[in-house]
Amino acid sequence: MADYPHATLKPPPGRPSWMGSGDLPLIYLGWGKRDFARHPVSKHYDLGTSYYLVVQGDLLLSTLKEDRCLTAPAVCMIDEQCLFGIHHGRAKAVEVLVWVWRDGPQLDALKPPRKGFREFSIRAECVPLIAKLHQRCRDEVAGTDTSTSLALSALRSLVEVELLRASQSPQVRDDFRWELARSWICANLSIHTPIPALCDYLRMSPSTLHRFFMKQAGVAPGTYFRQAKRQEASRLINQEGWQVKAAAFHLGYRHPGDLSRILTK
């Protein structure tokens, strides 16, 4: 049986990369264009867990058990005990972002199987944010100081969170944001101008918020807010035994008569 190296392999000269030393949590960073047809990565065991993000093109991940084509945008998490190499896929020119961390992923959903790898597609619109985090890692190692190790650990957590988010369908993210919106409205029914505050809370523009509510509830956000306010007023009065005046001031109405008119519509 071949004696495969245990090492982090550098790309050919002229290709951008960074190789760490000492006890930093990050071992290696790679980025930019690669020609794995001319310069394949030979089979080896890396010194840590490899995170490969295929930004453009495709590559062929080769292990003892299988060859797997990764087509952009895709991510592959490779365990340190996984023997692997990388060759070209259908396209010779590939753009990648690579991290090699000393430890495995903190998020269970991203952890590769022991001696194996985990690969998944991500949404293309998420790639720029992840690329910025890669750039922040490069900035951090370029000016190493006593806080670099802590900063890199925090950046790894951010990278993993954004990779996980990017792998989820838009519906999953929308469902979560909808629950946030509903919870916020229930907790802020006394606000007189809720839409700007809700836009700020959800980090949405007014037009995006309008489309979001029309998709989720079939009504505009202002209409939904007024309906929620009316339902809560009815609950307080009919189920909790509140007086109309008390319910009105609790929910931010300027005059009890305003609430009375709404409830009789």
Question: Greater confidence, 213 or 144?
Answer: 213
Q: Which tens digits make up the pLDDT trace of 125-163?
A: 999 999 999 999 999 999 889 999 999 999 999 999 999
Q: Which contacts (CB < 8 Å, 24+ apart) does range 205-212 have?
A: 212/174, 212/177, 212/178, 212/181
Q: Taking residues 165-180, what's their average pLDDT?
A: 86
Q: Does the structure show a pLDDT above 60 at 1?
A: no
Lowest mean pLDDT among 62-76, 113-127, 128-142, 238-252: 238-252
Q: Does the structure show a pLDDT above 80 at 108?
A: yes
Q: Which of 84, 101, 83 is nearest to 23 (CA)?
A: 101
Q: What is the pLDDT of residue 264?
A: 76
Q: Does the structure show a pLDDT above 90 at 170?
A: no
d(CA 57, CA 86) in angstroms, rounded, equals: 13
Q: Which tens digits make up the pLDDT trace of 7-42?
A: 999 888 888 999 987 789 999 999 999 989 888 999
d(CA 192, CA 181) in angstroms, rounded, equals: 17
Q: How far is residue 233 from each of residues 6, 59, 76, 182, 259, measured CA to CA in Å?
A: 67, 59, 52, 16, 8
Q: What is the pLDDT of residue 127?
A: 96
Q: Taking residues 156-175, what's their average pLDDT?
A: 89
Q: Taking residues 42-68, what's their average pLDDT?
A: 95
Q: Does the structure show a pLDDT above 90 at 240?
A: no
Note whether 37 and 88 are within 8 A (CB): yes
- 241 — pLDDT class (breaks 50, 70, 90): confident
Q: What is the pLDDT of residue 147?
A: 95
Q: Which tens digits make up the pLDDT trace of 74-102?
A: 999 999 999 999 998 666 679 999 999 99
- 116 — pLDDT class (breaks 50, 70, 90): very high
Query: What are the structural domains of the chain?
Result: 17-168 (2.60.120.280), 171-263 (1.10.10.60)
Q: What is the pLDDT of residue 68?
A: 94
How many other C-beta atoms can be found within 10 angstroms of the C-beta atom of residue 133?
A: 19
Q: What is the pLDDT of residue 200?
A: 96
